[in-house]
Amino acid sequence: MNLIKVGVIGIGNMGSSHVQILDKGQIEGAILTAICSSNENRIDWVKNHTSGDVQIFRDEETFLTESGIDAVVIATPHYSHPEIAINAFTKGIHVLIEKPAGVYTKNVLEMNEAAKASEKVFGIMYNQRANPLYQILRELIHSGKLGDIKRTNWIVTDTYRSQSYYDSSKWRATWKGEGGGVLLNQALHQLDIWQWATGLMPKRVNAVSSFGKYHDIEVEDEVTAYVEYENGATGVFITSTGEVPGTNRLEVVGDLGKIIVENEELTFYRLTQSEREFNRLYKDGFGRPEYKKIDIPVKSENANHVNIIQNWIDSIITGSPLLAPGEEGVKALEISNAIYLSSWLNQTVELPVDPDQYYEKLQEKISTSTFEKKHVTNNTLDVKGTH
């Protein structure tokens, strides 16, 4: 079998991790043959930490045109994801992008169209979709065992970051460089799982965000969002990078019970009778449906990057389905864009958001920004760090 020749562009912490995974032969059917970075320190790192004959490129166009790669992993800063992906698709190259899919839906939708036209395999690094914890959650919900969803609630505040984290790069925590804060960097995986596991996309959002509340940054480091779904259900999403100790607790309530995911454990409080049916038939006042507490054994696996890359390569080789199709990256981004827009306008926002309106408001944030970073430990813009 011919190995799929893979290149990596963007050699920050995530890109470096992907380089090592590929170079060490952890992905069956693939081989690392090229990297692209404009950072000489990261190029030196690649030379010293790869065992094979890896080609080095310093500019995107030469990399995509002359490297001979079949597939590319894109791990550059957020804004560049759609542009690089579209360029790769036009050259007949399969694409796996780091999250987020982009910063605004306008060019992400264009990227999705380019992917469709190219007929190449397009994936996104939503590695939490490979976590058995969330796969079982999704199966329970989609199988109907929870019944019709009434409410969702996710508190994601175990994502603490110090000021030094934000000072690690010039592009971090700015509207121009990163396009957002905790929603795009730390909590985007949860936004994806929120809609993927439940099968529900919000229809409207009302959100309050705090910008630079706990850090010297201009983007958000605390968010509380209230959402409404088409079926009448409601939800709350809370996230912050300024709380210690933090919480990571998801509740999904249906008319057949409640599922709680917390401390990497899954508990199902399953009703013996539908609440709606009980409510209609019960005649003795203060009663309530009986339920059983079921602790579902599952081994949570948070670091599933290998699984997503392998799934992507398998799809290239055999046509097997993707666990995280790149086109679905727009969904979590759509939610985050709606939360930002609601916070900026101080009003309820309907989904899908108007791509042009969001883009214009973001450009206003960038053009009117007077924020200047006081301390930057790394000025390089092609380096993407840990999330």
Mean pLDDT along residues 359-385: 79
Same domain, 243 and 354: yes
Q: Which helix (H) or strand (E) holds 19?
A: helix 13-23
- Residue that is written with structure tokens 């439940």 in the block: 198
Cα separation, 246 vs 160, in Å, equals: 7
Q: For residue 169, what pLDDT is reported? A: 84
Say if 118 falls within a structural domain. yes
Same domain, 217 and 363: yes
Mean pLDDT along residues 71-79: 96
Q: For residue 383, what pLDDT is reported? A: 41
Does residue 263 come out as left (phi exceeding 0), alpha (psi in the -120 to 50 range) or beta?
A: left
Same domain, 319 and 190: no
Rounded alpha-carbon distances, angstroms, from residue 62 to 88, 168, 384: 11, 29, 21
Percentage of the chain beyond pLDDT 70 is: 97
Work out how many domains the chain is built from and give that number.
2
The model carries a pTM of 0.94
Instruction: Specify the CATH number for the domain of residue 73.
Output: 3.40.50.720
Instruction: Specify the CATH number for the domain of residue 183.
Output: 3.30.360.10
Q: Which helix (H) or strand (E) holds 263?
A: none
Residue range of the domain that includes 203: 129-300+332-367
Same domain, 99 and 56: yes
For residue range 305-340, list pLDDT tens digits in order.
999 999 999 999 999 999 999 999 999 999 999 999
Same domain, 270 and 156: yes
| Torsion on CA atoms 30, 101, 154, 292, rounded to nearest 10 | -40
3-state secondary structure of 102: coil
Q: For residue 387, what pLDDT is reported? A: 44
Q: For residue 13, what pLDDT is reported? A: 87
Same domain, 42 and 142: no
Burial code (b: 16+ CB inside 10 Å, e: under 16) for 258-276 equals bbbbeeeebebbbbeebbe
Same domain, 52 and 196: no
Mean pLDDT along residues 55-63: 97
Averaged pLDDT score across all residues of the chain: 95
